[in-house]
Amino acid sequence: MPADDDKYPASTGRRRFVKGVVGSASLAGIGTATAAAVNSTTNPVGGGGGIVDFYGVENTGGPAPRAMPQIPLEIDSEGYLKGIFPEPETRTLESGAEITVAEMELGGITYGPKWFQYCGVQTFKGVRPEADQDNYFRYIGNSKFDWQNENVEDGQKMHVDDFDDYGSWGNGIGQSGLGKPAQGKWRSQDVSGGETLPIEVIRSERIEEQAQGNEWLSASTEEGFLAHLNKCTHFCCVPTFKGLAGSAAAGGADQIYCQCHQSTYDPFSIVEKSFVSLPRPEE
Amino acid sequence: MTDNEQTDNTGEAQADGGSDSAESGPRQDPRPDGGGTGIVPPDDETPTWSERKQRTQGLSRLTYEYFERARSEDQDLRQESSYVERDVLAFPTWPHEMIRNLSLTSFFVGMIIFLAATLPPHLGPPADPSSTPAVILPDWYLYWSFGLLKLGPLNPELAILGGEKLLADRTYGVMANVVIVGIIAIVPFLNKGSARRPVEQPFWAAFGMAGLAFAWTISALSIKNLVPIDAHLLFDLTFLLPVVVGTITYAVLKSMREGYMFDLNRRYYRLRPPK
């Protein structure tokens, strides 16, 4: 009789079987619970993501992967610039769930807030279809443009008259008379600074010419005004058109130039692209 | 054998190969190494026969004498000193080490508190995500890596892929970092660093100078939007300048070897203390 015989029962086939069953069951339980916990905390709930086609200002240089999406605009009767945003509508799915969707056919393409759902913008209140926002473009306070910082104030609505000299405007960067830009925000009233949707508006004679006979441009621009979401598709910086003298080094003096990694976009070349739009989180 | 017998017979000290014993008049000379039987029990310090042979002539003999002299002087100094060596391994943790550590800690904590109290705290306004600063760069010591991300023009457009690039430019930039860090990592395996002065190994000196120059030029490339040089010229200079610097270094060091009479004094330059 071995010395430790009284400490543990003898290892029998039955005991090994029971140990195996209990052990594997508890391991499986731990795995399932972990998977459920990870799922519940990281599940990308919400909607409005997926592959989407959009029109944007073409990426011509630098590491940015694609164009920056354009924001179609209109001018109201008083001359204020207003972005077009689809009316939200509630649809009932076959499963009985109700979803709010903002989509519209515009200029031969389906336009909606999906276009802007990258770089964290998908979490902003402004891209929610049901967000209670008017769609006017408003100036921001600290822009890269002297004319904007001197003539208009933060939060003021953009007006056509502010861009009267667009045919000759220049600030010493690149060629004068190409167009007059302004930095602004859109659908960002009463939201925290981190949720401001940055936009840029450019008024140019070239846009006016290109809009002739172009279905999309004639629907999305007006009187030479072109607006785009001002988030570089590379790392989400805020580029500018003729905002920085350093743009000449990257060949971007007459283009939209991002100072972070020298990406350039040509505002006078509107292209159709597609990307995987990120879903909006649930409320 | 005859030497030994002679020594035994006369009981006198004799130098190595003491064939001139007949001519040596004064017999009170100090007994030099190699006298006596020459038979000693081997220990760790006993030179091997090949070592003894190496030490009998030329520069190696000179070196041996030099170090032996230095060692014996050192030993004399130790023996004359009044310092008593004791078998103490270390001080006790408490209180000796602990009090020293506490005083050091108190000093540095005090300095931190002093600086925190003296310098006004800086808390800038929150970042504005709707406006990016005009100059936005990584810390200066990361410029080289930042520059390696901008090697897009070196990324080949392969004909076999129909003019497409195998890697995206951004992936290519990251791979360039791996390559550079890999080169730096294998240099110690290719060269042990035994040279004491650049003339000994002009190639590796030139390699190092080229690397140093590349660190500067790739850093300059990373801030190309702020460098007042044409972007394409700067890109070319980034890779040409290190080659030029390396070539000049190699040429200068090679011609300096003549001034050092390197071939003649090679053994001296390669000299290392014996183990």
Query: Which of A183, A259, A261 minimises the CB distance to B134?
Result: A259
Which residues of chain A are within 8 Å of residue B131 when distances are taken between CB atoms? 140, 142-144, 183, 198, 238
Contacts of A238 in chain B (CB under 8 A): 129-132
Distance of alpha carbon B132 from alpha carbon A259, whole angstroms: 8
- With a pLDDT cut of 90, the percent of chain A lying above it is 61
Domain boundaries, chain B: 140-269
Residue B62 is predicted with a pLDDT of: 83
Provide the 8-state DSSP code for A222. Answer: B
Q: Could you give the CA distance from residue A76 to residue B90 in angstroms, rounded to a whole number?
A: 86
For residue A230, give the nearest of A188, A169, A272, A191 by alpha carbon: A188
pLDDT above 70 covers what percent of chain A? 95
Interface residue B124 vs chain A (CB under 8 A): no
Confidence of residue B209 (pLDDT cuts 50, 70, 90): very high
Burial of B170 (0-12, 13-18, 19+ CB in 10 A): middle
Measured CA to CA, the distance from residue A100 to residue A111 in angstroms comes to 15
Which of A197, A238, A246 is opposite residue B131, by nearest beta carbon? A238
Query: If you average pLDDT over residues B130-152, what whole number do you get?
Result: 90
Return the top range by mean pLDDT from A234-248, B47-61, B81-95.
A234-248
Q: Return the pLDDT at B12.
A: 47
Chain B, nearest residue to A142 by Cα: B131
Residue of B128, B130, B222 to mutate, interface with A, max A Cβ within 10 Å:
B130
**Looking at chain A from residue 41 to 80, which residues have their Cβ under 8 Å from any Cβ of chain B?**
63
**Chain A contacts of B227, Cβ < 8 Å?**
249
Cβ-proximal residues to A103 (8 Å cutoff; 6+ apart), any chain: A86, A110, A111, A112
Q: What is the pLDDT averaged over residues B28-48?
A: 64
CB contact burial B251-270 (16+ within 10 A = b; e otherwise): eebeeeeeebebeeeeeebe
Confidence category of residue B102, pLDDT binned at 50, 70, 90: very high
Q: Kindly state whether A244 is in contact with chain B, defined as any CB-CB distance less than 8 angstroms.
A: yes
Q: Answer yes or no: are the C-beta atoms of A162 and A195 closer than 8 Å.
A: no
Q: Phi/psi at A220 (nearest 5 deg)?
A: -105, -10
Question: What are the residues facing A183 on neighbouring strands?
Answer: A200
pLDDT tops 60 at residue B178:
yes
pLDDT at B187 over 80: yes
User: ipTM of the assembly?
Assistant: 0.70
A163, A225 contact by CB (below 8 A): yes
Cβ contacts of B226 on chain A, cutoff 8 Å? 246, 249
| A140-172 per-residue burial string, b: 16 or more CB within 10 A, e: under 16 | bbebbbebbbeebeeebbbbbebbeebbebeee
User: How high is the pLDDT of residue B108?
Assistant: 98
Question: Is some CB atom of chain A closer than 8 A to the CB atom of B232?
Answer: no
Is residue A83 a contact partner of residue A187, using CB atoms and an 8 Å limit?
Answer: yes
Residues B62, B50: Cα–Cα separation, whole Å: 16
B12 touches chain A (CB under 8 A): no
- Chain A residues touching residue B224 (CB < 8 angstroms): 249-250, 262
Tokens standing for residue B226:
């702020």
B26 or B180: which leads in pLDDT: B180
pLDDT at B8 over 50: no
Per residue of chain A (283 residues), give pLDDT as tens: 555 556 667 778 888 999 999 999 999 999 999 999 998 877 656 667 789 999 999 999 888 889 999 999 999 999 999 999 999 888 887 777 778 888 899 999 999 999 999 998 998 999 988 888 889 999 998 899 999 999 999 999 999 999 999 999 999 898 899 999 999 999 998 888 888 999 999 999 999 999 998 999 999 999 999 999 999 999 999 999 999 888 887 788 899 999 988 899 999 999 999 999 998 887 6
Question: Of the spans A6-10, B151-155, B178-182, which averages the highest pLDDT?
Answer: B178-182
**Nearest-angstrom CA–CA distance, B172 and A63:** 11
B262 vs B186, residue with greater confidence: B186
Among chain B residues, CA nearest to A119: B129
Identify whether the C-beta of residue A181 lies closer than 8 Å to the C-beta of residue A243: yes
Question: What value, to the nearest 5°, has the Cα angle with vertex A72 and ends A71 and A78?
Answer: 115
Mutation target to probe the B interface, by most B beta carbons within 10 A, among A229, A260, A264 is A260
- Residue A130: both structure tokens together: 């049901």
**What is the token pair recorded at A270?**
């509107």
Alpha-carbon distance A141 to B125, whole Å? 14
- pLDDT tens for B242-253 read 999 999 999 999
Candidates A197, A249, A258; nearest CB to B224: A249
Q: Are A185 and A199 in contact (CB under 8 A)?
A: yes
Q: Cβ–Cβ of A259/B225 closer than 8 Å? A: yes
C-beta atoms of B134 and A244 within 8 A: yes
Which of A106-110, A112-116, B210-214, B257-261 comes out lowest in average pLDDT? B257-261
CA distance B33 to B40: 12
Q: How far apart are CA B140 and CA A210, in angstroms?
A: 44
Handedness of CA B138, B141, B144, B148 (dihedral sign): negative
pLDDT of residue B24: 44
B159 or A221, which is more confident? A221
Range with the poorest average pLDDT among A177-186, B16-25, B87-96, B124-133: B16-25
Task: Considering only the beta carbons, identify the residue of B129, B152, B225 that sits closest to A194.
Answer: B129
Query: Is A68 in contact with A271 (CB distance < 8 Å)?
Result: no
- If you write DSSP's letter for every residue of B229-252 in order, what string do you get? S-HHHHHHHHHHHHHHHHHHHHHH
- CB atoms B227 and A249 under 8 Å: yes
Mean pLDDT of B29-41: 60
